[in-house]
């Protein structure tokens, strides 16, 4: 199984949207626990990294988009 790559500042989509109706979360802290903030209502939640990885659906906006290497 391929691990999803996420990093601080990424805006991600989770498998479940927030009760406010938004499904865009910004990663605002990384550690053993991940803190994400709802982009709709600014509510933030802390979840264990393992659980975050399970609930993560996709990265919407990478904080650092991969750029092609220049020769």
| Interaction site with Zn ion (CB under 5 A) | 18, 20, 22, 38, 40-41, 43
Least CB distance from residue 70 to Zn ion, whole Å?
A: 40
| Residue 26, both tokens | 């910004």
Least CB distance from residue 16 to Zn ion, whole Å?
A: 11
Q: Which is nearer to Zn ion, 10 or 36 (CB)?
A: 36
Q: Which is nearer to Zn ion, 22 or 55 (CB)?
A: 22
Nearby residues of 4 by Cβ (< 8 Å), 6 or more positions away: 53, 56, 58, 59
What are the φ/ψ torsions at residue 46 (nearest 5 degrees)? Answer: -110, 125
């Amino acid at each position: 199984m391929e691990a999803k790559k996420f990093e601080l500042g990424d805006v991600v989509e989770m498998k479940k949207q927030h009760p406010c109706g938004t499904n865009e979360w910004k990663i605002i802290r990384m550690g053993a626990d991940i803190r994400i903030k709802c982009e709709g209502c600014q509510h933030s939640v802390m979840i264990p990294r393992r659980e975050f990885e399970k609930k993560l659906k996709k990265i919407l906006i990478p904080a650092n988009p991969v750029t092609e290497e220049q020769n």
